[in-house]
Structure 1
Amino acid sequence: MTGHSVFVIDDDEAVRDSLLTLLRGEGIVARGFVSGTDFFDRLPDAASACVITDVRMPDMDGAEVVRRLAEMKGHAWPVIVITGHGEVPLAVQMMKAGVVDFIEKPFDPQRLIETVRGCIGFLTDRQLQQERALQTEQRLTTLTQREHQVFDALIEGRSNKEIALDLNISPRTVEIFRAKVMTKMQADNLSSLVRMGLTRRH
């Protein structure tokens, strides 16, 4: 659960404090803001975070928070909306705009924690994918031009014979280049190498 923060935006001090207490009790790093304006005025510089916002707030409502956050961060930070019973239609519309989930008041603490954990899991998975993609790019810089050609052919599913014909070299030479590619890319097997290739394309 480390490495990701949760930011709570709610003008109701009692609700905000109860949320922060609940989250921190689960070992989650959490910080509160009294309004959307307060949040953007002191926008945290966290690389990875989840936002929980109330819908109805003075000055800037939850929908505006979601809109502005999407402008600034894309959809990099998952957003959970807390809503009253009469605000469900608006919450549904907000989900169409990118909100991960909405939770009705009075909220079930267990459901909120499970939703937050889901968001943090998503952030962790994406972070790992980014780290793997960076590792792949770094390893690719060690390949020669010919090794690059063999790498590209392998991740496209071509056989040694097909690669040999395409590059006008012998199958034995392809095997030598293939071994070098596997070593330099630190791939245990062909499926691992293919996954690296797919990572680059996402």
Structure 2
Amino acid sequence: MSVRAMQAGTVDFLEKPCEPQRMLEAVQTQLRVARDAFARRAGRRQVEGRLGSLTPREREVLRLVVDGMPSQMIARRPGTSVKTVDVHRARIKAKTEAENLGTLVRDLLLHCIDI
């Protein structure tokens, strides 16, 4: 029975007779786990939603920013100037409502979001 329970996702066992305090602690622990998981999923959906308005070129620039490339290196690509890259960076920041691109990059890495 315990093997089937573990396969079904059981996270804790309480032996009978169960002390009320032990049961309360187990329930409180799992409520915290569930709340944290819900918050992580909500944060990920929020970041993904903000990325939805980016153009393919803005996504490409953001990908390079995440890789740590400065505007000057990104601009070395054919047909791109530093000014154009800076415009893309400003649009990315505005569309995603990011405080700055560093914060956006942190959120992408924190939530393991692939661009």
TM-score (norm 1): 0.48
Q: 1:137 aligns with which of 27, 43, 48?
A: 48
Distance 2:84 2:50 in 1: 21
Aligned pair 1:119/2:30, yes or no?
A: yes
Q: Specify which structure has the bigger relative contact order, considering alpha-carbon pairs within 8 angstroms and separated by 6 or more residues.
A: 2
Superposed counterparts of 1:31-180, under 5 Å: 61-67=1-7, 69-70=8-9, 79-83=11-15, 106-107=18-19, 109=21, 111-166=22-77, 168-180=79-91
Q: Could you tell me the percent identity over the aligned residues? A: 27
Runs of 4+ displaced beyond 6 Å = none
TM-score (norm 2): 0.78
Name structure 1 gaps, 5 residues minimum.
Answer: 1-60, 71-77, 85-104
Structure with bigger gyration radius:
1
Quick check: 2:75–2:82 contact (8 Å CA) kept in 1?
Answer: yes
Distance 1:136 1:161 in 2: 27
Distance 1:118 1:168 in 2: 56
Match of 1:26 in 2: none
Match of 1:29 in 2: none
Quick check: 1:155–1:193 contact (8 Å CA) kept in 2?
Answer: no
Letter matched to residue 65 of structure 1: A
Distance 2:25 2:67 in 1: 39
Aligned pair 1:194/2:105, yes or no?
A: yes
How many residue pairs were aligned? 112
Q: CA RMSD for the aligned pairs? A: 2.3
Letter matched to residue 14 of structure 2: I
Quick check: 2:14–2:23 contact (8 Å CA) kept in 1?
Answer: no
Name structure 2 gaps, 5 residues minimum.
Answer: none
